[in-house]
Amino acid sequence: MQAQMLDSMDIERERGITIKANTVRIDYTALNGESYVLNLIDTPGHVDFAYEVSRSMRAVEGSLLVVDSSQGVEAQTLANVYHALDADHEIVPILNKIDLPASDCIRVAEQIEDVIGIDATDAIQVSAKTGQGIVETLEAIVHRLPAPNGDINAPLKAMLVDSWYDSYLGVIVLVRIIDGKLKKGERVKFMSNGSTHHVDRIGVFRPQMEMIDELGPGEIGFLTASIKQVRDTRVGDTICHDKQTVEALPGFKPSQPVVFCGLFPVDAAQFEDLRDSIDKLALNDASFSFEMETSAALGFGFRCGFLGLLHLEVIRDRIEREYSIDLITTAPSVIYDIHMRDGRVEQLHNPADMPDLTLVDHLEEPRIKATILVPDDYLGDVLKLCQDRRGVQLDLTYAGARAMVVYDLPLNEVVFDFYDRLKSVTKGYASFDYQMIGYQQDNLVKMSILVNDEPVDALSTMVHRDRADMRGRAMVEKLKDLIPRHMFKIPIQAAIGGKVIARETLSAMRKDVTAKCYGGDASRKKKLLEKQKAGKKKMRQFGKVDIPQEAFISALKMDG
C-alpha cells in the first residue's frame, strides 16, 4: 500500500509536496441520481512550476481552493488563486485538515475573504484523513462548477497539458481536447515546432492507465506516438490534425531556466555515471538544461539550469538517491544581461565567464516581486531582512493578525539563503512566493577568491559593490578555518578585478628559523636563510595548495 496515490516520488511523499502534476478521471453518481464524468488535475503549488500550473488551469473550467484550516492562507495559495482568476475560473473554497486540534475554520474563512476576496461563508469543511466532507466536495464540483463545452464537429484542437518519458512507450502526452475528436491511428501535428506523429494509443488515467478508442471535447487523456524526447512536446502547445490548420491557443511560451549552478562528482571516476544520470533525468524534464563544464578546482562536471531552487534540490536529490552519486554543488547564480560598449547584449550564466570590465558598459540583474505572509509579531524582522537584501517595499497590508508584505527584490539575493533566513527569523510561520518582473541595472561586480595567488573559479560570485567587502571578508575567514595548514604560508584573498578587498593568511606548520640565533653562528644562520629562500622558491614553482572537498562544499553553500 502507498499512502499517497498520485505522489509517486519519494521526495514528494517525504516533503508532503506535489512536484509533478497528475490527472485522474472518475465516474460519479450524484445524490440526485445523475451520472457524471469528472476530470481532475492535482497541480504543484510551488512558484518554480507556476507555468505548468497556469496551463493546467487553462485545461479545466473550475478550481478547488484547498486551504489548511490550521495554518491559514499562504503566499503560494494567493499566487495560484491569481492563476485561477486569470483563467476565469469558478472557485470553490475548501477548508482541509479539520480533524487537527489546531483547526480554526472560522478564522481561516475570514482570512480567505480578507486576503483573497472570495466569499467563504459556504466553504466546505473537509478531512481527507477521515473522509469527512468528501461527498460534499464532489457535489460542489458537479453543481457549482461549469461543465466543459466544445464543438465535436469542429477541427481538432487540443492543449498539451504535460508530458513525461516511459522507457517502453516513449513520451506520454497528456492532452485536453478543446474541439473536435482525437482517435487512435490519426496523424497529429504539434504547432510550436511543426512536427507530425502517428497516434499509437489513446487512454485515460483512473488513476491507472486505461486504453480507449477516442477523446472528445472537454475530456482529458493521454496519447503516445513513438516520440523519443520530451523536449519535442512543450507544455501549453496546441495539437491539431496533420492536414488541418487551427488558431493556436493563447499563452504558450517555452520554459526558461532562471537559476544556474554547477554539479560535480565528489569522486572524479563517477563523471560518466553523472553524465548518464543527467541524460536520463532530462528525458523526463524538458525544463532542465545542462552543458558540460570544466573547473580547475573541481574537475569535470555540468553547468545546469533550473526553474528555481526547489527544482534544483529535486534534481540534485534524485541524482544522489537514484544513482548513488555524491555531488558537489556550486553556489547558485542567475542570468545577468551584460551590455557591452559596442552595443551588444550578452547573457552571463557563470560568474567565472565575466568578460573584461573595460569592454562592459553596465550590467542588469533579474528582479522579482516577492509576496510574504507573516504574523504581525515577526514583521519587523522580515522588513529588516528584505532591506538588507536590497529590497524595495511595494505594499504592506493586514488581514487580522497577519501582514502581507510585497517587495521588489533582486533574484541574486534570494537564491542563496533568503528562504532559510526568512524561516529562521519568523520561526517557520512565514510563507514566501515570487514572480519575475524583469531586469534592472545595478552596480554589480565579480568577486574572485584567490588561494595562494591562484583564482578558484568555482568560488567566483557576482555581488553588489556596496556588499562586496562584507561578503569577501566572510568568505576568506571561512576558508581560513576550513583549509588545513601546509608547510608554507597561504594567502587567501577576495578581489574585485586587480584590487584585493579582503585577506587572511594561513600560517605555516613549521617554526621560522629567523626567530632563533644559533649560538651566534652567523654563517650557519646565513646558510639556513638561503635554504629557506630556495625552498620557498621551489614551493612557488611546483607546490599546489591542497584544498579538501569539505572546504569547497562548505564555502559554496555559505552566504556571505
What are the tens digits of pLDDT across the range 461-507?
Answer: 888 888 889 889 988 998 888 888 888 889 999 999 889 999 999 98
pLDDT at 8: 64
pLDDT at 80: 84
Ramachandran area for residue 2 (φ above 0: left; ψ -120 to 50: alpha; else beta): beta
Ramachandran area for residue 268 (φ above 0: left; ψ -120 to 50: alpha; else beta): alpha
Rounded to 5°, angle at Cα 308 from 304 and 313:
70
| Residue at grid coordinates 556571505 | 560
pLDDT digits (tens, 9 = 90+) for 78-120: 878 888 888 889 999 999 999 999 899 999 999 888 888 888 8
CB neighbourhood size of 227 (10 A): 21
pLDDT at 393: 94
Q: Which three cell numbers stand for residue 545?
A: 595548495
Question: Please, are residues 223 and 199 in contact by the beta-carbon 8 Å criterion?
Answer: yes
Convert 2-27 into a string of H (helix), E (strand) and C (coil).
CCCCCCCCHHHHHHCCCCCCEEEEEE
Q: Which three cell numbers stand for residue 393?
A: 517595499
pLDDT digits (tens, 9 = 90+) for 246-258: 888 887 777 778 8
Chain centroid offset of residue 291 CA: 18
Q: Which three cell numbers stand for residue 374?
A: 507573516
pLDDT at 115: 84
Instruction: Assign 410 to helix, strand or coil.
Output: strand
Instruction: Assign 303 to helix, strand or coil.
Output: strand
Question: Please, are residues 192 and 240 in contact by the beta-carbon 8 Å criterion?
Answer: no
Chain centroid offset of residue 380 CA: 28
Ramachandran area for residue 557 (φ above 0: left; ψ -120 to 50: alpha; else beta): alpha
Q: Which of 54, 52, 111 is nearest to 81 (CA)?
A: 54
pLDDT at 175: 93
Which amino acid makes up residue 455? P
Ranges of residues in the chain with a pLDDT under 50 are: 1, 512-518, 543, 559-560
| C-alpha to C-alpha distance for 315 and 67, rounded to whole angstroms | 28
pLDDT at 510: 63
Which amino acid makes up residue 61? E
DSSP summary character for residue 112 = I
